[in-house]
Structure 1
Amino acid sequence: MKIEKRHLLNYSILIPYLILSVLGLIVIYSTTSVSLISSGLNPFKSVFNQGVFWIVSLAAIAFIYKLKLNFLKNGNVLRIALIVEMILLFIARFFTQTVNGAHGWIVLGPISFQPAEYLKVLIVWLLAFTFARKQKLIETYDYQALTKRKWIPRSWSDLKDWRVYSLVLIGMVVIQPDLGNAAIIVLTAVIMYSVSGVGYRWFSGLLTAIVTVSAAFLGLIAIVGVETMGKVPIFGYVAKRFSAFYNPFKDVTDSGHQLANSYYAMSNGGWFGLGLGNSIEKRGYLPESTTDFVFSIVMEELGVIGACLILALVFFLILRIFHVGIKAKNPFNSMMALGIGGMLLMQVFVNIGGISGLIPSTGVTFPFLSQGGNSLLVLSVAIGIVLNIDANEKRDAIYRAEEEQKEQRRRAKMISPTDDKIIPFNRQV
C-alpha cells in the first residue's frame, strides 16, 4: 500500500509555526511602523519584506518536506555545504563592514544575509550524521568512540574529521565576533553530544564544566575590569555588553542604555500591557527594539500574561519537536530532530537571558518574532526537516505494522511468504 506523504503531516508542529510566523508579522508592524512613518516611508515596508521571506520560507518547507531524507545522509553533500559555509564565514569576517560591532553580514545589493545563522542547522546536521554512524561503537566504547583521535589534525584524513570542522566553524564565528550565535552553536553541540548515546554522566560533567568555566570567566572579568578586557581588539565591543551586564544603570547613556530601557519596557507593561502598538520604548528609546530586544516590546505592549502565552506556544513547538526525536527509531532522524529542538531552545534561552540581564546581551534574535528574513528562513528550514523526519518515521511505522500483521497471519494460517496463498493446515501426522 502506497502512503501519500501529505497525509502524514504533523499539524501539532505546523500550526504553532504558522501562528508564531503571523504573530511575528504583527509584532514587526507594531515595532517598525512608528519609525517608518516618522521617516516618511510606508509603514508596511518592513512587514512586506518579512512577508516575502515568509513566502519563500513556506516554499522551502514544502520542498524540504517532499525531499528524500537520504539526501541529508549523503556525506559528500554535507561536506560541500560545510566548505561553502566556511567560505561565506571567511568573506563575512574579512571582506565586509561591521554591523553592530561585528563582521557578520554579507550584503549583495538589496539582499543581506548572516552566514552564522545557517551554521546552526549545519552543525546539527554534521553531528547527527557523524554520531548516527557511530552508534555501534558508542554502545561498546561509550564516549571513547567519539574521542579516539587527536583533536589536532596530523594528516589529510584528520582534516575531514567532524571535530576539526566543528572547531574551525565555531572559531570563525567567535572571531567575527558573534558570541551570541557561537554560544547557541556550542550549547546545541553539547545537547547533540548528550543525545548521541554516551553515558548520561558525561552530559552532567559537560554541563558542570560549562557552568564552572562561565562563572569563573565572569568572575575574572569582574576582578580584572571590563576596561582591561576592552583593550583586546576582537572583544572591544563585547566589553560594553559585559559592562551593562554587571550594572546597566552605571552608564545608561552608553553601555547600559539597551538593558536599562529593556527593564523600563518590561516594567511599563505590567500584567496586561499597554496595548498593541502603544509601546513607549520603541519610539527611539530602546535600540534594536525590532530584533534583539523585540520581546521587551512584546512584554510592554501585551504584558506578562501575553508574553507568557507566546512563550508557552514556543515551548509547545519545541516539545513537539523533541517528541519527534524521542519517538524516532532511526538514529540520524532522532538526533537531527533533538538537535533542532535544542537549537530553538538555546536561542530562546540566550535571547530572554540577554534582555532580562540573566546573561550578558549577545545580539541574538527571538525566534519568529524578531525582524529578519534570514532568521525566519533558517528556522523554517529546520521546521521543514523535522516535518520530513516525522512523516518518514510514521510511514516506516505503518509499514512495520503491516509486516508484523502479515507475519502474524502467515503464522496463524500458514501463509506462504512468497505468494501469500493460504496453505491448508495438515493435521495428519
Structure 2
Amino acid sequence: MKIDKRHLLNYSILLPYLILSVLGLIVVYSTTSASLIQNGLNPFRSVINQAAFWVISLLAILFIYRLKLNFLKNSGVLTIMMMIEVVLLLIARFWTQEVNGAHGWIVIGPISFQPAEYLKVIMVWFLAFTFARRQQSIEIYDYQALTKRKWWPKQLSDLKDWRFYSLVLILLVAAQPDLGNATIIVLTAIVMYSVSGVGYRWFSALLTGIITLSAVFLGLINIVGVKTMSKVPVFGYVAKRFSAFFNPFKDVTDSGHQLANSYYAMSNGGWLGRGLGNSIEKRGYLPEAQTDFVFSIVIEELGLIGAGLILALIFFLILRILLVGVKAKNPFNSMIALGIGSMMLMQVFVNIGGISGLIPSTGVTFPFLSQGETVFLFCQ
C-alpha cells in the first residue's frame, strides 16, 4: 500500500521552523533598517533580500521532501558534492577578497555565499552514510569497526578512511581562517561518532579530552600572552578575540569593542526590553549587530523574557529533531537527524557563548535570526 507523504509531515518541527523564519525576517528588518536609512537606502532592502532566499529555501525543502531516500544513500552523489565543496573552499581561500580577516565568502554579482556553511550539512551526510554502513561491525567490534585503517594514508589507494576526509575538510575551513565553523563541525562529528553505536565510555573520554585541551590552551594563552600567540600563523586573526575574552573592558576601543557593547546591549534590555526597533547599540555602536551579535540586539529590544522564549522555541525544534533521530529504526535516518539536531545545537551554543563571554567570540551566526542568505538556507 502506497503511503501519502503528507501523512508523514512532522508538524512539531514544521511549525517552529515557520515561526522562527518569520521572526528572523522581523529581526533582520529591526537590525538593518536604521543603518540603511542613514545611508539613504531602502530600509526594507535587507529583509526583502532575506525573504527572497527564504522562498528559495522553501522550494529547496519541497524538492528534498519529494526525493527518494536512496538518492542520499548514493555514494556517487555524495562524492560529487564533497568534491564540489572542496573546490569551493579552495576558491574561497585563495581567490576571494578578505572580509573581516577571513576569506570565507564567494561573491558572484549580487549573490554571496559561504561554502563552510554548506559543509556542515555535507559532513553530517557523509558521516551518517559512513557510520550507517558499519552498524553490524560496530555491534561486534565497537569503536575498532570505525578505526581499522590507519587514518593517514601511505598511498593514494588508502584514501578510504572517514577520518582522513573529515580532517582535510575541517582543515580547509580552519585555513580560511574560520575557526568558528571548524569548531562546530568538529563538535558535530564527535557527537555523531558517539551515537554511531560505539560504547558510551568513548563519548565520556572525548568530552573529557576536549575540556582538558581547551583549559590547557586558554591557560597557555593567558600565560604566554595574546601578543606572542598572535605571531602564530592563522592564530593572528583570532588573537584580538581571545584578548577580549580575558578582559573586554581592557581595550574597549579595539579588541574588546564588540563584546563590551554586547554587554551594554544585554544590560539595556533588562527583563522586558526597550521595545522592538528601539535598540541603541545597533545604531553604530555594536559592529555586526545583524549577524554575529544579533542575539544581543534581540535581548536589548525584547528583554531576557522575550529572548528566552525565542531560545525555548529553538531548543524545542532541536529537541524534536533529535527525538526523530532517537526513534528512527533505520541507522542512516537516525544519524542524519541526530547530526542535524546536534549541529544546530552547537551553533546556538557557540554563538550565545561568544556574545556572553563564556567562550571566545568566533564570528558564528545565530540560526534563523542572523542576516545572510547562506545562513538562512543552511537553517532549512
**TM-score category, normalised to shorter length:** over 0.9
Which residue does 2:77 correspond to in 1? 77
Aligned pairs (5 A) from 1:181-192 = 181-192=181-192
Aligned pairs (5 A) from 1:129-144 = 129-144=129-144
Residue 359 of structure 2 corresponds to residue 359 of structure 1: yes
Q: Shift in Å at residue 232 of structure 1? A: 2.1
Residue 258 of structure 2 corresponds to residue 227 of structure 1: no
- TM-score normalised according to structure 1 size: 0.88
- TM-score normalised according to structure 2 size: 0.99
Which residue does 1:154 correspond to in 2? 154
Q: Shift in Å at residue 376 of structure 1? A: 1.0
Paired letter, 2:71:
F
Q: Shift in Å at residue 266 of structure 1? A: 0.2
Q: Shift in Å at residue 161 of structure 1? A: 2.4
Q: Shift in Å at residue 215 of structure 1? A: 0.6
Post-superposition Cα deviations, 1:52-109, rounded to whole Å, max 9, x if no partner, equal 0000000000110110010110111111111111111111111111111111011111
Secondary structure, aligned partner of 2:112:
strand
Pick which of 229-238 and 343-352 moved more. Answer: 229-238
Aligned pairs (5 A) from 1:100-179 = 100-179=100-179
Which residue does 1:62 correspond to in 2? 62
- Structure 1 distance, partners of 2:70, 2:172, is 29
Which residue does 1:194 correspond to in 2? 194
Paired letter, 1:251:
D
Secondary structure, aligned partner of 1:107:
strand
Which residue does 1:252 correspond to in 2? 252
Aligned pairs (5 A) from 1:253-292 = 253-292=253-292
- Structure 1 distance, partners of 2:157, 2:166, is 15
- Structure 1 distance, partners of 2:307, 2:221, is 33
Which residue does 2:52 correspond to in 1? 52
Residue 86 of structure 2 corresponds to residue 86 of structure 1: yes
- Structure 1 distance, partners of 2:175, 2:220, is 21
Aligned pairs (5 A) from 1:343-382 = 343-380=343-380
Aligned pairs (5 A) from 1:385-400 = none
State percent identity of aligned pairs.
79
Post-superposition Cα deviations, 1:341-368, rounded to whole Å, max 9, x if no partner, equal 0000000000000000000000000000
Q: Shift in Å at residue 340 of structure 1? A: 0.3
Post-superposition Cα deviations, 1:374-410, rounded to whole Å, max 9, x if no partner, equal 1111121xxxxxxxxxxxxxxxxxxxxxxxxxxxxxx
Paired letter, 2:112:
S
- Structure 2 distance, partners of 1:125, 1:236, is 32
Paired letter, 2:161:
D
Secondary structure, aligned partner of 1:160:
coil
Residue 34 of structure 2 corresponds to residue 34 of structure 1: yes
- Structure 2 distance, partners of 1:242, 1:139, is 43
Q: How many residues align?
A: 380
Aligned pairs (5 A) from 1:381-420 = none
- Structure 2 distance, partners of 1:145, 1:160, is 14
Which residue does 1:324 correspond to in 2? 324
Paired letter, 2:28:
I
Moved over 3 A (4+): none
Post-superposition Cα deviations, 1:203-242, rounded to whole Å, max 9, x if no partner, equal 0000000110011000000000000111123221200000
Q: Shift in Å at residue 119 of structure 1? A: 0.5
- Structure 1 distance, partners of 2:136, 2:7, is 34
Q: Shift in Å at residue 154 of structure 1? A: 1.6
Which residue does 1:294 correspond to in 2? 294
- Structure 1 distance, partners of 2:206, 2:169, is 20
Paired letter, 2:353:
G
Secondary structure, aligned partner of 2:80:
helix
Paired letter, 2:109:
G
Q: Shift in Å at residue 6 of structure 1? A: 1.6
Secondary structure, aligned partner of 2:271:
coil
Secondary structure, aligned partner of 1:279:
coil
Q: Which runs of 5+ in 1 are unaligned?
A: 381-429
